[in-house]
Chains A and B, each alone.
Chain A
Amino acid sequence: MSSTTLIGQPTSRVDGAIKVTGAATYAGEFVVPGLAYGYVVNSPIAKGRITQVHSAEVLALPGVLAVFSHENRLPLPDDDNCYMDQLAPGGSPFRPLFDATIKFNMQPVALVVAETYELARYAAAVLRLDYEQEPHQTDLSKQRGAAFKAPHQANGFYDYPPSRGLPEQAWASATHRVAGDYAHPTQHHNPMETFATTVEWRGDGQLTVYDKTQGTFNSQQYICNVFNLKKENVQVHSYFVGGAFGLALRPNYQVPLAVMAALALKRSVRVTLTRQQMFSLSYRPLALQHVKLGTNPDGSLATLHHEALQATSQFEPYAETVTHWSGVLYRCDNVKLEHLLAPLDVMTPVSMRAPGPTSGLFALEVALDELAYETGLDPVELRLRSYADRNGLMDKPFSSKKLRECYQQAAARFGWAQRNPEPRSMRHGDLLVGWGMASGVWDSSQAEAGAQATLTADGKLTVVNGVNGDIGTGTATVICQIAAETLGLPLSAVTFRQGESTMPAAPVQGASWTAGSVGTAVQKVCRQLREQLLTLAQQLPDSPWRQAGPSEIEFTDGKLGLLGQPETQISFSEVLRAHRLPHLEAEVTASPDAKRQQQYSVNVHNAVFVEVQVDPVIGTVRVTRLVEGVAAGRILNPKTARNQVLGGMVWGIGAALMEETVMDHRFGRFMNHSLAEYHLPVNADIRELEVIFVEEEDDIVNPLGAKGVGEIGILGVSAAIANAVYHATGRRLRELPITRDKLL
């Protein structure tokens, strides 16, 4: 046993001091000798061909080193498999600079490389390209005819959402019914750090690639496949990631462009995207939806229909679980789910924080609020009448589910019982006040991960795993807590090294699974070190621990000894020194207990309660209070976990009230491609946010019992706000964002 109790403590981040002093180095900031600067040129048309690249004019500028385009690119493979990264959804991945074809507006068409950043930017601005333009289609509502069934399997999720029961008959005979069309807009991730890759040309046939990525190994594999390089010659490093939210799961185009330039010029090259170019990358796709709900006489759900049409590119069928969760969140025997994709002349979408349910549960949870008014039931009570004890979609029991407690605790904290359900019945001075609620559900899983650990004779532990640098989740902090507690060391004796492709493997960092996956590997490797330490201690002469079994030994504060007998303690350092060992080492791979996990549905749940104030004259909506109850298994660090959920709440407020990327279909181009026009919440938009972690034990998800909190925070928030706006104003809005023009 170890008696330190670090797991579950609100420990401050171990990398905090580095971040607050500006010492954290992000992908586009590594200083390497002889660096040249690449600047991307993007297509102004959405479809067609490049007919000419006027490179000569730009190459004549002193200091411009090269202009790369399809005309002079390095040889690239003509096999889709070479461009398939770990998260490729099938189809034919986009190949930057492969040929003259333009597939989407702002597609990268050239890379200008120069001695200085200023010169590269200037040269890129004056580089002329001619195009042959063809008609494009970027309007989802006009592409219904081309829609096809979403191939979910390709994306690693379970299959096309199955329907169950007799949904049509149940609809016909339902006691109460609601039906509506809902729209969740296109949104861009917009992490604060724009995408950047610094490729260090080392002159020895090796490349070190500093990349902004959520998958060190995914980047490495992609680079090797595209450029036919050997793994041992390409090291990908990622130490800090300035936000990603899903956008760094797949290698973005600055990666191959920077690598190509470095290989061709035989020197180090950095390519950093501008904020405008961030809107040429992937995004959360527009989802047009239709929901129908009908009740039994007791108010429980008799039937649930959820259909979604989502945009994807012409070349990759990106699908996310928009309608699946409607088959999971509530008990209902007659469910019809349908998810269609329509191809547009746009870039392929990608996962963006809680991809699928963010769009889908917005529709479902607003429809449920409508049903609450239709039936006269309180929205919480309505949900409790269809509380799901099993995952009806997969027909499996939940490994644990404390959603009921989320409702109870968050409602109590919020004061929900005081609500007068009548719309426009509550006021604060001249402002209309509305209270709304909703809930959410997300997956939880463990993936295979490795870990290596070294305990040195000075009693210091270094744990190593190649997971990409911290995207903000606090992975390093939680890993240090797990390692310190498992081996019985003070936190200050533990160092976590991460972010290099030569280190033990980690899955891409998505789906809220990193803490559970890497954490489990770290726990396992530290347990091995304990066993080694105990064996070595027992070999010492006069060992008082000779006969003791592992359960009778206590590891604490860098020492081991008989349980409850401090006088028998010996420090790890003494053990090593006695054996003349400079260090102990262990390396493991931890795989999920797939067989056991497959018997269960492992999910995290939440319930969200919101207060809004609406100015009836000018239509402004302000979220004044938000309480979220979260059931996510064991919380490894309440400080960092709370921060994750707070971030999700802020995202939910942004989604509800301001975020939308607007396509100008005449040009097939996103027009509000800047932070002045794509609105994000600022400090003044955020008032009281409160997070309640409901106690939940789960020994199925992973040995740590932690389900992950990266995604759950956002879910339910936008629907709860829309529901609160209805309560405040009597206006039912089924299309996000809720802007003044829609409200007035």
Chain B
Amino acid sequence: MNDDQDSPSTGQSTLPAASEITAAPAAFGKYRAPTRAAFGLTSPVETSSVHLTINGQPREFHLAPWTTLLDALRLYAGLMGTKKGCDHGQCGACTVLVNGTRINSCLTLAVMQQGQQITTIEGLGTATSLSALQQAFIDHDAFQCGYCTPGQICSAQGLLYEGKAHTEDEIREQMSGNLCRCGAYVNILAAVKEVVDAQTA
């Protein structure tokens, strides 16, 4: 949506050709920004109606069609527990469960999930009734700033449902879509392993 800001270009008044994007500036001088007339979007506020079941509650939204599931949850459903770390599917902070399968909610549009069952961190447990994973994350100090934590826990919940990871190496590997810049990986592993072991025991 905002690619102009992501790659410098030297084009003139229309979108530059790919070859021009990578070419070094031939000479310093005028830099004319490309226009986006090519997109032909003049009224970007048309909305579509989206029905989602979020943590068991049926909800209806009227959203610009390019609203991601992540932004729908955070900005329209008011569920800020799901975090945005990159918006590009590169960090896992936005992980939620769709019909029990973990996905990056920034990589799907809300309209694409019409009618689906969405579970966010708020749906997994509350402060007075924590899920096993949530409790294990506290016990093992599996976070620092806590920003990646909802995504880690949703991802680990998905991993439990998948039932494929048993060993430490398998858990490490299958939890590697969730970055933790605070570096709490050793403790995340310990927390998830405890719950995996308890479920398979």
Which residues of A are in contact with B by a Cβ distance under 8 Å? Answer: 12-13, 15-26, 29, 31, 39, 41-42, 44-45, 48, 51, 54, 61-63, 105-106, 116-119, 121-126, 128-135, 190-194, 240-245, 272, 274-277, 470-474, 639-640, 642-644, 646-651, 666-667, 669, 673-676, 680-686, 689
Chain A residue at minimal CB-CB distance from B133: A20
Inter-subunit contact A20/B137 (CB<8 Å): yes
Q: Which residues from A are CB-within-8-Å of B114? A: none
B31 partner, pick from A15, A42, A132, A683, beta carbons under 8 A:
A132
Alpha-carbon separation in the docked complex, A125 to B36 (Å)? 8
Q: Which residues from A are CB-within-8-Å of B45? A: 61-63, 116, 119
Inter-subunit contact A676/B90 (CB<8 Å): yes
Alpha-carbon separation in the docked complex, A125 to B7 (Å)? 12
Chain A residue at minimal CB-CB distance from B127: A17
Q: Which residues from B are CB-within-8-Å of A105? A: 8
Inter-subunit contact B28/A135 (CB<8 Å): yes
Inter-subunit contact A131/B138 (CB<8 Å): no
Inter-subunit contact B67/A471 (CB<8 Å): no
Interface status of B112 (Cβ within 8 A of chain A): no
Inter-subunit contact A646/B67 (CB<8 Å): no
Chain A residue at minimal CB-CB distance from B66: A118
Inter-subunit contact A45/B31 (CB<8 Å): yes
Task: Give chain A nearest CB distance to B55 CB in angstroms.
Answer: 11
Task: Give chain A nearest CB distance to B171 CB in angstroms.
Answer: 8
Alpha-carbon separation in the docked complex, A296 to B186 (Å)? 43
Most buried by B among A121, A134, A639: A121
Q: Which residues from B are CB-within-8-Å of A666? A: 24-25
Inter-subunit contact B83/A242 (CB<8 Å): yes
Given contacts A26-B147, A674-B90, contact A131 B1 (CB under 8 A): no
Interface status of B163 (Cβ within 8 A of chain A): no
Most buried by A among B143, B169, B179, B185: B185
Chief secondary structure at chain B's binding surface: loop
Q: Which residues from A are CB-within-8-Å of B189? A: 683, 686
Inter-subunit contact A682/B179 (CB<8 Å): yes
A125 partner, pick from B1, B79, B90, beta carbons under 8 A:
B1
Q: Mark B137-176, 1 if CB is under 8 A from A, else 0.
A: 1110101111111100100000000000000010111011
State the 10 A-B residue pairs at the shortest beta-carbon distance, nearest first.
Answer: A22-B81, A472-B144, A650-B183, A242-B147, A19-B146, A472-B145, A22-B121, A647-B183, A16-B138, A675-B90
Q: Which residues from A are CB-within-8-Å of B80? A: 22, 25-26, 29, 31
Task: Give chain B nearest CB distance to A388 CB in angstroms.
Answer: 29
Q: Mark B59-103, 1 if CB is under 8 A from A, else 0.
A: 000011011000100110011111111111011010000000000
Task: Give chain B nearest CB distance to A281 CB in angstroms.
Answer: 14
B5 partner, pick from A41, A51, A675, beta carbons under 8 A:
A41
Task: Give chain B nearest CB distance to A237 CB in angstroms.
Answer: 15
Inter-subunit contact A133/B30 (CB<8 Å): yes
* Interface band, chain B: 35 or more
Alpha-carbon separation in the docked complex, A17 to B43 (Å)? 44
Given contacts A19-B146, A118-B44, A675-B91, contact A194 B183 (CB under 8 A): no
Task: Give chain A nearest CB distance to B166 CB in angstroms.
Answer: 15
Q: List 5 A-B contacts (CB under 8 A).
A: A18-B146, A20-B149, A31-B80, A130-B32, A243-B182
Inter-subunit contact B30/A131 (CB<8 Å): yes
Inter-subunit contact A126/B39 (CB<8 Å): yes
Interface status of B197 (Cβ within 8 A of chain A): no
Q: Which residues from B are CB-within-8-Å of A24? A: 146
Q: Which residues from A are CB-within-8-Å of B118? A: none
Inter-subunit contact A684/B181 (CB<8 Å): no
Alpha-carbon separation in the docked complex, A48 to B28 (Å)? 9
Alpha-carbon separation in the docked complex, A472 to B147 (Å)? 9
Q: Which residues from A are CB-within-8-Å of B84? A: 194, 272
Task: Give chain B nearest CB distance to A67 CB in angstroms.
Answer: 14
Task: Give chain A nearest CB distance to B153 CB in angstroms.
Answer: 6
Interface status of B107 (Cβ within 8 A of chain A): no
Inter-subunit contact B148/A130 (CB<8 Å): no
Task: Give chain B nearest CB distance to A278 CB in angstroms.
Answer: 9
Chain A residue at minimal CB-CB distance from B89: A676
Alpha-carbon separation in the docked complex, A240 to B90 (Å)? 23
Alpha-carbon separation in the docked complex, A121 to B68 (Å)? 13
Q: Which residues from B are CB-within-8-Å of A277? A: 5
Inter-subunit contact B130/A13 (CB<8 Å): no
Interface status of B105 (Cβ within 8 A of chain A): no
Chain A residue at minimal CB-CB distance from B170: A684
Inter-subunit contact B125/A21 (CB<8 Å): yes
Interface status of B2 (Cβ within 8 A of chain A): yes
Interface status of B180 (Cβ within 8 A of chain A): yes
Inter-subunit contact B183/A651 (CB<8 Å): yes
Task: Give chain A nearest CB distance to B62 CB in angstroms.
Answer: 11
Interface status of B126 (Cβ within 8 A of chain A): yes
Inter-subunit contact A275/B146 (CB<8 Å): no
Inter-subunit contact A669/B8 (CB<8 Å): yes
Interface status of B20 (Cβ within 8 A of chain A): no
Alpha-carbon separation in the docked complex, A71 to B173 (Å)? 51
Q: Which residues from B are CB-within-8-Å of A651? A: 183
Chain B residue at minimal CB-CB distance from A20: B134
Given contacts A240-B146, A275-B90, A676-B88, contact A21 B121 (CB under 8 A): yes
Task: Give chain B nearest CB distance to A586 CB in angstroms.
Answer: 30
Inter-subunit contact B39/A13 (CB<8 Å): no
Task: Give chain A nearest CB distance to B147 CB in angstroms.
Answer: 3
Alpha-carbon separation in the docked complex, A24 to B71 (Å)? 18
Residues facing A in B1-53 (CB within 8 A) are 1-6, 8-9, 24-25, 28-36, 39, 41-45
Task: Give chain B nearest CB distance to A3 CB in angstroms.
Answer: 26
Chain B residue at minimal CB-CB distance from A128: B33
Inter-subunit contact A243/B147 (CB<8 Å): yes
Q: Which residues from A are CB-within-8-Å of B149? A: 19-20
Alpha-carbon separation in the docked complex, A304 to B173 (Å)? 44
Chain B residue at minimal CB-CB distance from A46: B8
Task: Give chain A nearest CB distance to B80 CB in angstroms.
Answer: 4
Alpha-carbon separation in the docked complex, A674 to B125 (Å)? 32
Inter-subunit contact A683/B178 (CB<8 Å): yes
